[in-house]
């Protein structure tokens, strides 16, 4: 499900323009992202981590549909965070409600990598039962 939060007024962010990989820490899965395929346009901001994960069979919970109105898509970007769009005030406010917040925490629906680095993502343990194990 995709949508728009009418109370959020952030500038659009261009999806990645170079190939990169997303490694899921602890799940032995690596996703090769081809920028020509982006955005998948299903979930969260175009080209967001949520968009990439969901398209590749990693079903991360996203109760609000990817419009920055919950914190269920909380992920931890363990490496490659500098290549991700900065968190805006709306994302920071929602992250404040996330369980297990870390300095590398992001909302997957709002975090858009630019492709300049590979990304390593950790899905918090309490959310792992939402992730499909069938695809690994």
If binding is defined by CB under 6 A, does position 45 make contact with ligand FES? Answer: no
Q: Which of residues 17 and 126 has its CB atom nearest to ligand FES in the complex? A: 126
Backbone phi, then psi, for 78, in 5-degree steps? -80, -25
Q: Which of residues 68 and 87 has its CB atom nearest to ligand FES in the complex? A: 68
How distant, in Å, are the alpha carbons of 6, 91, 94, 98 from that of 47? Answer: 20, 16, 20, 22
Q: Which of residues 33 and 60 has its CB atom nearest to ligand FES in the complex? A: 60
| Tokens at 84, concatenated | 């991700």
For ligand FES, the binding residue among 94, 111, 121, 123 (CB under 6 A) is 94
**Residue ranges with strand state E in 53-100:** 74-79
If binding is defined by CB under 6 A, does position 112 make contact with ligand FES? Answer: no
If binding is defined by CB under 6 A, does position 16 make contact with ligand FES? Answer: no
Q: Which of residues 14 and 63 has its CB atom nearest to ligand FES in the complex? A: 63
Site track 48-87 with ligand FES (rule: CB under 6 A), x = hit:
--------------xxx-x-xxxxxx--------------
If binding is defined by CB under 6 A, does position 107 make contact with ligand FES? Answer: yes
| Tokens at 5, concatenated | 């939060």
Whether 136 and 29 have beta carbons less than 8 Å apart is answered as yes
Burial of 9 (0-12, 13-18, 19+ CB in 10 A): exposed
Residue of 43, 48, 30 lying closest to 2 (CA atoms): 43
Q: Which residues bind ligand FES (CB under 6 A)?
A: 62-64, 66, 68-73, 94, 107, 109
């Amino acid at each position: 499900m995709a949508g728009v939060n009418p109370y959020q007024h952030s500038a659009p962010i261009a999806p990645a323009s170079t190939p990169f990989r997303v490694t899921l820490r602890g799940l032995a899965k690596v996703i090769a992202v081809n920028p020509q395929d982006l955005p998948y346009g299903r979930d969260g901001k175009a080209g967001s981590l949520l968009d990439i994960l969901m398209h590749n069979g990693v079903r991360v919970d996203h109760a609000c549909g990817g419009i920055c109105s919950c914190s269920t898509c909380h992920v931890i970007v363990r490496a490659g965070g500098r290549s991700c769009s900065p968190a805006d005030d709306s994302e920071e406010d929602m992250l404040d409600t996330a369980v297990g917040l870390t300095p590398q925490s992001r909302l997957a629906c709002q975090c858009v990598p630019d492709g300049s680095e590979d990304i390593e993502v950790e899905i918090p343990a309490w959310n792992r039962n939402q992730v499909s194990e069938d695809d690994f």
